[in-house]
Amino acid sequence: MGDWVRALAEAELAPGRCTEVSIGGKPVAVYNVEGTFYATSNTCIHRGGPLGQGLLSGHEVMCPWHAWTWDVRSGENTANASLRIPSYETKVEGGDVMVRIPD
């Protein structure tokens, strides 16, 4: 099911913010929603926009290129739940945000 990999230090990402990381060469967006961390693919399926550069509002991130919005908890598009981006398990361990990317 994939190994847990360190994405960043918990202190590096303030609540209400998102960022981009690379895990095993895969672009991943990490979000801090009121102290709970989530991770999705960093690539919006509309036109490939970088979600880690988007605007995070609650549990929704808006793609900076064309304003498509995604629920960071599930990867579902907020306008059409049949559209999804990959979402990944996260945990905080020893002050690090860990992400598990499936094999």
Q: Tens digit of pLDDT for each residue in 5-20? A: 999 999 999 999 999 9
| pLDDT the model gives residue 2 | 77
Report helix, strand or coil for 100.
strand
The total domain count for the chain is 1
Q: Tens digit of pLDDT for each residue in 48-69? A: 999 999 999 999 999 999 999 9
The parent domain of residue 15 ranges over 4-100
Q: Which CATH number covers residue 76?
A: 2.102.10.10
Model-level pTM? 0.95
On whether the CB atoms of residues 70 and 78 are closer than 8 A, the answer is yes
Percent of the chain exceeding pLDDT 90 equals 93
Residue 84 has pLDDT above 90, yes or no: yes
Positive/negative CA dihedral, 39, 45, 46, 49: positive
